[in-house]
Amino acid sequence: MDMSPIFISMKTAIIAIIITFFLGILLAQWVVSLKHDKIKMILDGILTLPLVLPPTVAGFFLLYLFGVKRPIGKFFIEYFSVKIAFSWGATVLAAVVISLPLMYRSARGAFEQVDQNILDAGRTLGMSEWKIFWKLKMPLAMPGVASGGVLAFARGLGEFGATAMIAGNIAGKTRTLPLAIYSEVAGGHMERAYGYVFIIVIFSFLVVLLMNYFTMSGHKKRRER
């Protein structure tokens, strides 16, 4: 069995979740703090859109933006000598775009469930909004935020459609586990496909266990309060 799809997938998912985790938290806090409901609704729709679009459509838009002859793609090539499309970086880009809505919505839901009285108490004690966010809001919302992170990691690990569009299926470079499964089945190598399927099923099961752990932990903390 070629181990490169496993290493590529894990490397992609780890880098993607680091970006997605913090970006999702910041975007969720920004949207929650907005006062205008119409603006909040529009931004929420934009940030959630990759979740409901077919992944190949999301990948099409990424290819349209970051292709070697497209404005953003040409900019990176000309000024940074970096080719995004059909590179390993494109697998990270696809994973971030597809998994970000899960992280964002989980974090937003967790932030909206935090008791505002606790945050107001922090303000009366003279705490800055920055301290209130990191010292009060984040710890209280952490079970929901962590569950979102676990789901986003799993989504990035299992991404197929957008990755195939923007990164391609290049062996040893952009071929992730889902792409490897597709390639082996298409080539009639079912034994190799079984091995890759087994690995990704184990990862997915561990993700479900982690998500259930954080969910139960959140319910327990709310009961204690």
User: Could you report the per-residue pLDDT of 61-71, keeping only the tens digit for each?
Assistant: 999 999 888 88
Residue 28 has pLDDT above 70, yes or no: yes
DSSP state of 73: H
- The pTM score is 0.88
Residue 117 has pLDDT above 60, yes or no: yes
Mean pLDDT of 89-113: 94
Closest CA to 222 of 138, 140, 107: 140
- Look over the chain and give the mean of its residue pLDDT values, rounded to a whole number: 90
The amino acid sitting at 41 is M
Predicted local confidence at residue 220, as pLDDT: 63
Sign of CA dihedral 89, 162, 203, 196: negative
Residue 222 has pLDDT above 70, yes or no: no
Residue 225 has pLDDT above 70, yes or no: no
| pLDDT digit string, tens, across residues 193-203 | 999 999 999 98
| pLDDT digit string, tens, across residues 149-186 | 988 999 999 999 999 999 999 999 999 999 999 999 99
Helix (H) or strand (E) holding 1: none
Residues sharing a CB contact under 8 Å with residue 131, sequence separation 6 or more, in sequence order: 122
